[in-house]
Structure 1
Amino acid sequence: MNTIVLRIFIVCSLLVCLFAGDASAADTVTLHRLTFRGTNGRAISLDDSAVHVVCFLGTECPLARLYGPRLQRMADRYAGRGVVCLGVNSNVQDSPAEIDAYAKKYAIEFPMVKDADQSIADAFGATRTPEVFVVDAGGKIVYQGRIDDQYEPGVSRARPTQNDLHDALESLLSGHPIPAPKTTSVGCLITRTAKHSTKDSATAPVTFNADIASILNEHCVECHRGGEIAPMALTDYDEVVGWGQMILEVIDQKRMPPWHADPDIGHFVGERRMPQETRDKIATWLDSGMPQGDNGDLPPLPQWTGGWQFETEPDDEIAMRDRPFTVPAEGVVEYQYFVVDPKWTEDRWIRAAQVIPGNASVVHHAIVFVRPPDGNGFHGIGWMAAYVPGQRAVALPEGHARLVPAGSKLVFQMHYTPNGRKAGDLTRVGVWETAADDVSHEVFTQLAIDHEFEIPPGVSDHTVTMTVDSFPPNSRMLGITPHMHLRGKSFWLQANRPGGQVKPLLSVPHYDFNWQHWYEFNTPVDLNDVESLEMSVRFDNSSSNPFNPDPDDFVSWGDQTWEEMAIAFFDVAIPRGGPHYRVQKPKPLSQRQQAERDKQIEDHVTKFMASMDTNRDGIIERDETPVAFQRFGFNRIDRNHDRRIERDEIRAAAAERL
């Protein structure tokens, strides 16, 4: 492969900025007989009479990977209308070979330029990848910004609602004014390095080798290394320099490291939190020119286990199905469910389980549930194990295990994130067993759930409350996972104790659907003196929520991400052999209170039937209900296990709750 040789003659007229207040964006960029050589070694010259779309791209930026193929499709579509696309790579960390590999991988055929000294980025005022500029035949920049609004960091809409680049080109080609000549670019920052000096490391207060490498090893490298889901590896100085400003931005925006629990409420096992002094050290390194330092100060990289994370191989290993699932190159992939029969003919006690994704680059998270045979008295909802990027597999405490009854099936719940290229995945779970005689405590997962809410259109703060007030004696809560969808805003958990005492246990002030955290308490919560666990789930259905699929919708319970859920999974440990649930003595009600309660129950029954009985025959069949309710709620109400729910069963379940 030939090295990209640039012979660029750019006459840049930095006139009054087209965009008020933005001194970096040029009004006119005259591409006058621009001549350079591409990666294929052939000379390329631009047509002065053409409209040019200049696209700033990076090889490892997730959004540049998603939008690269889309830009090529647009280049093909407009080729016959006098529009020419040109790709520019201004990232110091991307080599010519890597740019060529990126173009080949994502089928990009328009020419790519290596902006080695970042002069092209400076001339245009480009700050991110992907960012596009439309230059008319006279050299005037008529559009700057995003391609469309489908993707943002952490946001993946099913389809774009604004097609900004397309609209700009159509307006320009039809002779009409462009309605929005500038939009906000989103994506990865182009770290400016030309103004930095990395030579004087001897007097630098902070260097990469002595200070920054160890910070990245502790907080970032577990995911940001080869073969993991994170898009770039932060293990090499030359690579890290190119991401320097982006690293600080995601830290300041609380996007990285991914952790959402309020530290003022509680601390948890394995929490990912970067101290302020650590963040400030990174900022100092950037300000001093990102010096490398003495090679003798560079710490060794941590040794990560690529496969099973326990000392022995699993006692059994089960794949989610017999062939890979195909993840498309882009778009939103709804949750996928795969049911597997492990053919276990005897009860199993599971002391540890680990989920390994078949393709970590597209598996955002995975959960494996146990679906026991009907009528076996199984405790809880069957949680077995989960995979979340960066979360290590942890065995249960000594003497603790989960019971999987003979004849159970396993359900893989898979959440996929497209990365710009079609991919296959075959995720599997491994289990480590222990003898029944060695188990002192059974661990199972309980569920707090509300599936009767409705969120009005445009409401920015809609609250749903959930309460659990029945626990086994001598039980302990080990941890909890809240779960909502794209409108989820925050989560609050408190323990209500006798005498009106309230103990806050968990606050997630800014819930993020992209991260399904397991919050394991440093000290398990003793449930003996807890009257109830109370949860407050808040939703934002307004247009100010960037994740919101449609703020004009009434939103109710549903499996799809554009619908909503209000769920919390929490693990409980109980001594083996004891009674399962503590019976709560109801307080006597007055006649008026009893009448109000009866009315609440009947209202609940009516509303439940209206939402679930789709064929209106007065009976709710299992297949009429949403998939998630089938797995997490149906058996709790279907008391006689005939796979049908009738009004008296709904009434009984409501009476227990109220």
Structure 2
Amino acid sequence: MYLGNDRVSVFGCLATAFFVGIFWTCGVHGQRPLPLRQLTFRGTDGEPVSVGDATLTAVCFLGTECPLAKLYGPRLQRLADRYADRGVTFLGVNSNLQDSPAEIDAYAKKYVLEFPMIKDADQSIADAFEATRTPEVFLVDSGGMIVYQGRIDDQYEPGISRAHPTTNDLRDAIEASLTGAPIDQPKTTGVGCLITRATKMNGTATSSADVTFNADIAAILNEHCVECHRPGEIAPMALTDYDEVVGWGQMILEVIDQKRMPPWHADPDIGHFVGQRRMSDEARNKIAAWIDDGMPQGDAADRPPLPQWPSGWQFASEPDVEIAIRDRPFTVPAEGVVEYQYFVVDPKWTEDRWIRAAQVIPGDASVVHHAIVFVRPPDGSSFHGIGWMAAYVPGQRAVALPDGHARLVPAGSKLVFQMHYTPNGHQTEDLTRVGVWTVDREDVTHEVFTRMAIDHEFEIPPGVENHVVKMAVDSFPPNSRMLGITPHMHLRGKSFLLLANRPGGQTEPLLRVPHYDFNWQHWYEFAKPVNLSDVDSLEMSVSFDNSTGNPFNPAPDDFVSWGDQTWEEMAVAFFDVAIPRGGPHYRVQPTVSLSPRERQQREQRMEEHVTAFLDQMDVNADGIVERDETPVTFQRFGFNRIDQNRDGRIERDEISAAAAERL
């Protein structure tokens, strides 16, 4: 073991380790010794790489397909450039079983990494450092002491993407070490992808093993994972080959146990939905047993074929119309947070269109997290709902409406693309498009339109862990059915509950999302549409977590109200309704005689509603709400519902009329 210059201090550390049983207590501030110069570092070409006599050496464990390693690779290079003339050396180490030297070279070239890349083929370097994840960084001083271990900064975590880091752990550790100051946090929790150890492998086992990749695991992955985890899709690694899968074995089990994969957030005990992603306990336990047994490959004859997915349009024919977001691609940056992008396109339709199916195809699926296409009808047109046309979410298959069902798009309408991009560490371009399949009006038996439940009058206090906002919708058209629903909140969204209130006081839960995740905008399509004819109202409870315990929370000390930005909040639910074509879009309310007292109470509630609406929306306090005074989302999906005369202004009588429908 290399002892460095201070043999006495190292002897003291060894003595402590003898009695306490752990090296981590050695040195100050959690330092521990590491025989850096006794380790063998070899590049991807197999040639030795000299560690040198650097003042500090940053050993960075990286993987070619780990999403966080992709995001942080360029950032590590910037740090390497910044400190190169101050005696700080950076080394990249790849200990992944599944990454070949050629793949490591391609990764370094793609993300322009100029520091040496090491292939840790026998994982001896990972074992010496006790590295567990990529990216994880170890800062070693000239005496062979690890002075910092952990993350680079806190901007990215699995499922979390902050606009900027709030702590720069590696940079601060380098600065402190160079100036001789103590490191405030010498050890932080590494985040990223697990490094599966070679000791877990036993690929030679065949038919004698109880669970093998070919006979058991491949079929599970085909059913639950490969639709997204294959070349060309947004998922970061392909889980189609044994040699690739074994390198992710422990990581696969971790994301399953953490309920991060497969991505599905509905309570399994409430409702049944089309395309629901649920992995059974039996399947999970097979994966765990396979890993414990050494991940044997098994007999090749037992391997099921890969499913075949259409790579383009998923219906039997080409679309009748194909429309792109614009005439040139949108540039997605290498990193950071990209706010929702909205592209307005005029398809130049001079006649009404009935849409029986629509499919969104991303231009670059590796960065398109989701896309929604809305219809913006011309002013004064006969149009109902908010204009939802189609959506794309990774892994969801495009589904045509039931036979005889279609959406009406009035002549002169424009299409609005809402795009959510997630950078992947490499600047790229996207040109998403939507394909539309039409049907003749005479063949339409049911019109489908999207309604919205919304509350934009809430305020979430600072630090509150469970702030609940209630929403309700009633006045459904006769003979109508609800086909599906999408709840929408932002980073503080915690849970969602949908109840159907039926005559006689009966209440039926239809959907519960106990752990809402802003990263996944699920469309929950009911396996059996909900008959709304015997539903008095749909009641929704939306809860928010504005506490420090919410890792997504951008500002726990803020009061939070409605807003389009992700650091603000929304309480919205979109749901599809089908009605017989030509029928009324709202239930005709029976005439009810009210007592003078009941009439007075109703008028008071209406006046309170009007006052609250004006207080929030009427920015210049002139008693009239102009379109540009309202949030962008309300402009697109709520303004025209209240602006009955389509003059671009909402006045008191129009607010009162809208309130009368609700109250």
TM-score, normalized by length of structure 2? 0.95
Shift of 1:198: 2.2
Task: Write the distance in 2 (CA, Å) between the matches of 1:585 and 1:129.
Answer: 64
Which string of whole-angstrom CA distances, capped at 9 and with x for unpartnered residues, describes residues 75-96 of structure 1?
1111122111111100010000
Task: Write the distance in 2 (CA, Å) between the matches of 1:200 and 1:292.
Answer: 7
Mapping 1:556-571, distance limit 5 Å: 556-571=561-576
Task: Write the distance in 2 (CA, Å) between the matches of 1:393 and 1:92.
Answer: 36
* Residue identity in the other structure for 2:483: L
Q: Does 1:620 align with 2:662?
A: no
* Residue identity in the other structure for 1:88: V
Of residues 232, 248, 254 in structure 2, which corresponds to 1:249? 254
**Equivalent residue number for residue 446 of structure 1:** 451
Shift of 1:46: 1.8
* Residue identity in the other structure for 2:143: G
Residues 153 and 574 of structure 1: CA distance in aligned 2, closer, same or farther (over 3 Å) = same
**Equivalent residue number for residue 643 of structure 2:** 638
Which string of whole-angstrom CA distances, capped at 9 and with x for unpartnered residues, describes residues 564-603 of structure 1?
1111111111001222211234766565555444444333
Assess if the C-alpha contact under 8 Å between 2:355 and 2:409 holds in 1: yes
Assess if the C-alpha contact under 8 Å between 2:31 and 2:147 holds in 1: no
Of residues 99, 105, 115 in structure 2, which corresponds to 1:100? 105
Which string of whole-angstrom CA distances, capped at 9 and with x for unpartnered residues, describes residues 176-202 of structure 1?
111111111111000112343222223
Shift of 1:316: 0.6
Mapping 1:473-622, distance limit 5 Å: 473-585=478-590, 594-622=599-627
Q: Does 1:425 align with 2:430?
A: yes
**Equivalent residue number for residue 287 of structure 1:** 292
* Residue identity in the other structure for 1:632: F
* Residue identity in the other structure for 2:652: R
Which string of whole-angstrom CA distances, capped at 9 and with x for unpartnered residues, describes residues 306-326 of structure 1?
000001000110111000001
SS of 1:338's equivalent? strand
**Equivalent residue number for residue 5 of structure 1:** none
Task: Write the distance in 2 (CA, Å) between the matches of 1:10 and 1:620.
Answer: 74
Task: Write the distance in 2 (CA, Å) between the matches of 1:20 and 1:262.
Answer: 45
Q: Does 1:464 align with 2:465?
A: no
Mapping 1:358-373, distance limit 5 Å: 358-373=363-378
**Equivalent residue number for residue 233 of structure 2:** 228
Assess if the C-alpha contact under 8 Å between 2:320 and 2:435 holds in 1: yes
**Equivalent residue number for residue 343 of structure 1:** 348
Task: Write the distance in 1 (CA, Å) between the matches of 2:490 and 2:441.
Answer: 38
Q: Does 1:273 align with 2:273?
A: no
**Equivalent residue number for residue 413 of structure 2:** 408
**Equivalent residue number for residue 352 of structure 1:** 357
Of residues 186, 192, 199 in structure 2, which corresponds to 1:187? 192
* Residue identity in the other structure for 2:63: G
SS of 1:386's equivalent? strand
Task: Write the distance in 2 (CA, Å) between the matches of 1:106 and 1:473.
Answer: 58
Task: Write the distance in 2 (CA, Å) between the matches of 1:49 and 1:639.
Answer: 72
Assess if the C-alpha contact under 8 Å between 2:360 and 2:371 holds in 1: yes
Which string of whole-angstrom CA distances, capped at 9 and with x for unpartnered residues, describes residues 108-154 of structure 1?
11111111111111111110000011111111111111111110111
Of residues 115, 119, 122 in structure 1, which corresponds to 2:124? 119
Which string of whole-angstrom CA distances, capped at 9 and with x for unpartnered residues, describes residues 294-350 of structure 1?
111111111110000001000110111000001110010010000000011111111
Residues 608 and 573 of structure 1: CA distance in aligned 2, closer, same or farther (over 3 Å) = same
**Equivalent residue number for residue 83 of structure 1:** 88
Task: Write the distance in 2 (CA, Å) between the matches of 1:50 and 1:514.
Answer: 42
TM-score, normalized by length of structure 1? 0.95
Task: Write the distance in 2 (CA, Å) between the matches of 1:160 and 1:386.
Answer: 31
Q: Which runs of 5+ in 2 are unaligned?
A: 5-9
Task: Write the distance in 2 (CA, Å) between the matches of 1:329 and 1:238.
Answer: 29
Which string of whole-angstrom CA distances, capped at 9 and with x for unpartnered residues, describes residues 588-622 of structure 1?
65655554444443333233223222233332111
Assess if the C-alpha contact under 8 Å between 1:198 and 1:290 holds in 2: yes
* Residue identity in the other structure for 1:398: D
SS of 1:224's equivalent? coil
Deviates more, 1:197-206 or 1:323-332: 197-206
Task: Write the distance in 2 (CA, Å) between the matches of 1:328 and 1:358.
Answer: 15
**Equivalent residue number for residue 214 of structure 2:** 209
Task: Write the distance in 2 (CA, Å) between the matches of 1:314 and 1:156.
Answer: 36
**Equivalent residue number for residue 329 of structure 2:** 324
SS of 2:78's equivalent? helix
Task: Write the distance in 2 (CA, Å) between the matches of 1:423 and 1:596.
Answer: 58
Task: Write the distance in 2 (CA, Å) between the matches of 1:629 and 1:442.
Answer: 24
SS of 1:80's equivalent? helix
Task: Write the distance in 2 (CA, Å) between the matches of 1:254 and 1:18.
Answer: 34
* Residue identity in the other structure for 1:173: L
**Equivalent residue number for residue 310 of structure 1:** 315
- Percent identity of equivalent pairs: 77
* Residue identity in the other structure for 1:645: I
Task: Write the distance in 1 (CA, Å) between the matches of 2:235 and 2:483.
Answer: 29
Assess if the C-alpha contact under 8 Å between 2:355 and 2:408 holds in 1: yes
Assess if the C-alpha contact under 8 Å between 1:487 and 1:541 holds in 2: yes
Task: Write the distance in 2 (CA, Å) between the matches of 1:515 and 1:461.
Answer: 21
* Residue identity in the other structure for 1:203: S
Task: Write the distance in 1 (CA, Å) between the matches of 2:310 and 2:80.
Answer: 43
SS of 1:194's equivalent? helix
Task: Write the distance in 2 (CA, Å) between the matches of 1:18 and 1:173.
Answer: 24
Task: Write the distance in 1 (CA, Å) between the matches of 2:271 and 2:515.
Answer: 15
Task: Write the distance in 2 (CA, Å) between the matches of 1:175 and 1:353.
Answer: 62
Task: Write the distance in 1 (CA, Å) between the matches of 2:424 and 2:591.
Answer: 54
* Residue identity in the other structure for 1:518: W
Task: Write the distance in 2 (CA, Å) between the matches of 1:340 and 1:302.
Answer: 35
**Equivalent residue number for residue 176 of structure 2:** 171
Shift of 1:640: 1.3
Task: Write the distance in 1 (CA, Å) between the matches of 2:41 and 2:153.
Answer: 30
SS of 1:32's equivalent? helix
Shift of 1:356: 0.3
Shift of 1:519: 0.6
Shift of 1:170: 1.5
Task: Write the distance in 2 (CA, Å) between the matches of 1:232 and 1:187.
Answer: 14
Assess if the C-alpha contact under 8 Å between 2:205 and 2:297 holds in 1: no
Aligned length: 647
Shift of 1:647: 2.2
**Equivalent residue number for residue 59 of structure 1:** 64
Of residues 425, 438, 442 in structure 2, which corresponds to 1:437? 442
Shift of 1:40: 6.4
SS of 1:339's equivalent? strand
**Equivalent residue number for residue 7 of structure 2:** none
Task: Write the distance in 2 (CA, Å) between the matches of 1:291 and 1:415.
Answer: 40
**Equivalent residue number for residue 3 of structure 1:** none
Task: Write the distance in 1 (CA, Å) between the matches of 2:596 and 2:193.
Answer: 64
Task: Write the distance in 1 (CA, Å) between the matches of 2:431 and 2:382.
Answer: 32
Root mean square deviation of aligned Cα:
1.9
* Residue identity in the other structure for 2:536: E
SS of 1:506's equivalent? strand
* Residue identity in the other structure for 1:104: K
Assess if the C-alpha contact under 8 Å between 1:368 and 1:384 holds in 2: yes
Assess if the C-alpha contact under 8 Å between 2:462 and 2:546 holds in 1: yes
